[in-house]
């Protein structure tokens, strides 16, 4: 088991929560981005730099992912691809994407995107504060704890 992070759009505070989780649990993490992200260091932590081609980082995350891994992304199409591959996916606000709900999220995203393209809705600015960060940290902790209980050997092997 490992943690995969879509690092291009991941808030710094969220990355810091992931790094603390890696130190606490020993689960390895891959931060995947099209550009260098400062502060991505530590035992069991890798930074994967991808080309700037559209979708390159998403494709790399999918290639790195194995069933049972945990991925962090706010990109719904990427979340859809990962969930279809039996990957646990959460966004930076703690929302957990599952086989049961990903199609609804994907459809809603496409609907809103279509409305925005037609100029029927403006850009929404959503804040990211302590409440959202706590929801993310709680979801990540809950999923990692569950995954480690289910397969304690996998978390140890990921860190070695």
Each domain of the chain, given as residue ranges in start order, spans 2-99+128-152
User: What pLDDT is attached to residue 112?
Assistant: 67
Distance of alpha carbon 38 from alpha carbon 79, whole angstroms:
24
> Which among 58, 56, 52, 100 is positioned nearest to 76, based on CA atoms?
58
Phi (first) and psi of residue 144, to 5 degrees:
-65, -45
Mean pLDDT over each residue of the chain, to the nearest integer: 87
Nearest Cα neighbor of 68 from 51, 86, 48, 95 is 86
Distance CA 144, CA 152 (A): 10
Asked if the model's pLDDT at residue 160 lies above 60, the reply is no
Fold assignment, 2-99+128-152: Rossmann fold (3.40.50)
Q: pLDDT band for position 159 (50/70/90)?
A: very low
**pLDDT tens-digit series, residues 63-115:** 999 999 999 999 999 999 999 999 999 999 999 998 787 777 677 766 667 76
């Amino acid at each position: 088991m490992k943690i995969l992070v879509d690092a291009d759009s991941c808030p710094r505070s969220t990355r810091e929560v992931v790094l603390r989780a890696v130190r606490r649990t020993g689960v390895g993490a891959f931060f995947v981005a099209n550009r260098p992200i400062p502060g991505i260091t530590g035992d069991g932590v890798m930074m994967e730099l991808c080309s700037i081609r559209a979708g390159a980082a998403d494709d790399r995350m999918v290639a790195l992912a194995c069933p049972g891994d945990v991925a962090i992304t706010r990109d719904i199409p990427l979340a859809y691809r990962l969930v279809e591959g039996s990957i646990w996916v959460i966004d930076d606000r703690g929302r957990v994407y599952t086989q049961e709900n990903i199609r609804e999220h994907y459809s809603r995203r496409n609907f809103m995107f279509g409305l925005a393209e037609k100029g029927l809705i403006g850009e929404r600015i959503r804040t990211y504060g302590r409440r959202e960060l706590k929801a993310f940290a709680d979801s990540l902790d809950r999923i990692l704890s569950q995954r480690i209980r289910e397969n304690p050997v996998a978390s140890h092997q990921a860190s070695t």
